[in-house]
Structure 1
Amino acid sequence: MLIRIPTPHAPRPSEITPRTTYLTRRAALAGLGLAAAAPQVLAQTTPGGGRLARLPGQRSTAAGAVVLDKPTAYADATSYNNFYEFGTDKSDPAERAHTLKPRPWTVAVEGECARPGRYDLDTLLRLAPMEERVYRLRCVEGWSMVIPWVGYPLAELIRKAEPTGKARFVEFTSLADRAQMPGLRSGVLDWPYVEGLRMDEARHPLALLAFGMYGEVLPNQNGAPVRIVLPWKYGFKSAKSLVRIRFVEKQPRSSWEQSAPQEYGFYSNVNPHVAHPRWSQATERRIGEDGLFARKRPTLMFNGYEAQVGQLYAGMDLKKHF
């Protein structure tokens, strides 16, 4: 299928930082020496939109949890999205996702576990301390962002569920409600959206159960109210608007793998050496860096998280298991 990449949607006037504020902040950062600044300073350069509820998190100390790359502007991160439940154009989610109702919300935990159950959103929010993690996000289409997420390790919920010895994989299912999601009327995928991970991947310290970004709760277009974030994999692996987490014995078949298995594998790790059938993955365009004509940057193996996750795939043929 053809994936269109239109010009990024322009930010709303209310999202544009006033020139005086921008100059003041720029001068302050210059005085601190931004090139050698602590991650805390980098995260402060792109505050949230200020219209959603605050959701602060303690800065994570996990290895690889905070990259030094400059975060993507909030206006870009919330207006240039893949969320096909609201449409296939990058601007569709921001324009249409106001129909999503993130409360009340429950997530069912099912399958091969000793403690299945249904968790309402408030229970999930209290399950573990919130952390802020600044992750790179790499899309299979060739663009990337850097986003400060708020959440806690997915392993915390897995521990709570107590998977049995039969649980070798975790399957994630997103909401599929035609009344809230106009994109479901299209046949681009078989709904609901399903993704999966091997159990050791799901338990990895970098796998995040996210409830917010930029210090605020998740905007609807970014997967409210709860989603997965897997920084070493292509963005479509990070399932949004979760309603079910199921522990299974057999490898689940993800939505994109089912739709186009020659293009989308189960693992979908960022790999500059394995091209998509229709384009190279060797370089990427960072959103917000002077538009479509900015010089592309080299794509890093496992999106730059090789030191943290490379051992998960030791001995595997990564061209075969793409």
Structure 2
Amino acid sequence: MKLKWSDVTPEADYLSRRVFLAAGAASIAGPALGLTGKPSGLSTDEKPNSLEEITNYNNFYEFGTGKTDPAQFSGSLKTSPWSVRIDGMVERPGSYGVEDLAPDAALEERIYRLRCVEAWSMVIPWLGVPLSSVLNKAGPQPGAKYVAFQTLLDPDQMRGQGRGSGIDWPYREGLRLDEAMHPLTILATGLYGQVLPNQNGAPIRLVVPWKYGFKSIKSIVAITLTDKQPPTTWQMLQPSEYGFYANVNPQVDHPRWSQATERRIGAGLLGGREETLMFNGYADQVAGLYSGMDLARHY
């Protein structure tokens, strides 16, 4: 029997994750716990990180600035029921349930590299649907040029949204429409064959594998199509450090982190650093989106 979002309680989800960890789920070859995805030819053949690494080392400032804060403090986030408002320059605006946007039968398995601007990386086996399929359901109008995203605003559930964080909540991100419609861009609702854990952006998040991780906004509640470039959280906070595009580029350093190399999480002390690939290794698929652009200026 397929797992439905309406059947998932935080307690049941937590228990299923602990059982999955206890079973030593280090490979995607085993049976899925409720969710399955059709294999995709867009997946990397690199070995995925373990579920424990993926769920216990991440950035989700809504729950704190530490890498383990999301796992520690996100368990009480209520992710069902959940709806996403799609509005702006679309023919069919409305509020859509996660199960409508990403039904189980439509899920695809996408094993993607993830590169953080802090110069660490992972390989993650997502389950999701192409963002293009969602946008096509809403019907983009001819003048739409950008897609804006917004995360849940709820300081009672998201302790990091309290006073003193220095961030203008809610978290906002955006893409050009052609980036959003690209086949690599997905909305993820699961990983490792199970419902997306809270700390990884449940119940629905964006994944854009050729961009730095902060572009892949989590716990989405609103998607707006517009003809103007939307404001994005990190660009508003530090425009000299974070651009709108945020494409992985080993030739353009962040003021605090060289982007030439990266540290693969789980590689160990002797694992060394790996050379960072242009567009995170997806140049063959996406470089054409930026033809003629100065990527040092449009960073």
CA distance in 2, matches of 1:126, 1:70: 27
CA distance in 2, matches of 1:153, 1:108: 17
Deviations 1:214-252 (A, max 9, x none): 111100000000000000000000010000000011000
The aligned counterpart of 1:284 is: 262
Match of 1:78 among 55, 80, 89: 55
The aligned counterpart of 2:40 is: 60
The aligned counterpart of 1:15 is: 21
The aligned counterpart of 2:193 is: 215
Is 1:145–2:145 an aligned residue pair? no
Please report how far the alpha carbon of residue 126 of structure 1 lies from its aligned counterpart in structure 2 after TM superposition: 2.5
Aligned residues: 282
Which protein has the larger Cα radius of gyration, Structure 1 or Structure 2? Answer: 1
The aligned counterpart of 1:310 is: 287
Q: From the superposition, tell whether residues 14 and 217 of structure 1 become closer, same or farther in structure 2 (CA, over 3 Å).
A: closer
The aligned counterpart of 1:196 is: 174
Match of 2:236 among 258, 262, 272: 258
CA RMSD of aligned residues (A): 2.1
Match of 1:159 among 136, 155, 164: 136
| Cα pair 2:36 2:104 within 8 Å, conserved | no
Calculate the TM-score normalised by the size of structure 1. Answer: 0.83
Q: Is there any run of 5+ residues in structure 2 with no aligned partner, and where? A: 1-17
Q: From the superposition, tell whether residues 14 and 58 of structure 1 become closer, same or farther in structure 2 (CA, over 3 Å).
A: closer
Give the partner amino acid of 2:287.
G
Is 1:205–2:183 an aligned residue pair? yes
The aligned counterpart of 2:7 is: none
| Cα pair 2:102 2:129 within 8 Å, conserved | no
Q: Could you tell which deviates more after superposition, 261-270 or 178-187?
A: 178-187
Same amino acid, percent of matched pairs? 53
CA distance in 2, matches of 1:173, 1:264: 18
CA distance in 2, matches of 1:234, 1:187: 22
Is 1:267–2:245 an aligned residue pair? yes
Deviations 1:254-281 (A, max 9, x none): 0000000010000000000000011210
Is 1:124–2:101 an aligned residue pair? yes
CA distance in 2, matches of 1:136, 1:217: 20
Match of 1:299 among 272, 276, 295: 276
Please report how far the alpha carbon of residue 294 of structure 1 lies from its aligned counterpart in structure 2 after TM superposition: 2.8
Is 1:135–2:141 an aligned residue pair? no
CA distance in 1, matches of 2:34, 2:189: 11
Give the partner amino acid of 2:210.
W
Please report how far the alpha carbon of residue 17 of structure 1 lies from its aligned counterpart in structure 2 after TM superposition: 5.7
CA distance in 2, matches of 1:166, 1:188: 34
Deviations 1:90-142 (A, max 9, x none): 00000000021110100000001111010012222339711001000000001
Q: Secondary structure at the match of 1:273?
A: coil
CA distance in 2, matches of 1:68, 1:238: 21
Q: From the superposition, tell whether residues 250 and 69 of structure 1 become closer, same or farther in structure 2 (CA, over 3 Å).
A: same
Is 1:112–2:86 an aligned residue pair? no
CA distance in 2, matches of 1:128, 1:243: 22
Is 1:100–2:70 an aligned residue pair? no
Deviations 1:27-48 (A, max 9, x none): xxxxxxxxxxxxxxx742xx69
CA distance in 2, matches of 1:178, 1:304: 37
Deviations 1:260-317 (A, max 9, x none): 00100000000000000112100000001114x5300000000000000000001100
CA distance in 2, matches of 1:155, 1:170: 11
| Cα pair 2:117 2:257 within 8 Å, conserved | no
Calculate the TM-score normalised by the size of structure 2. Answer: 0.90
The aligned counterpart of 1:242 is: 220
| Cα pair 1:128 1:156 within 8 Å, conserved | no
Please report how far the alpha carbon of residue 179 of structure 1 lies from its aligned counterpart in structure 2 after TM superposition: 1.1
Q: Is there any run of 5+ residues in structure 1 with no aligned partner, and where? A: 1-11, 23-41
Is 1:225–2:231 an aligned residue pair? no
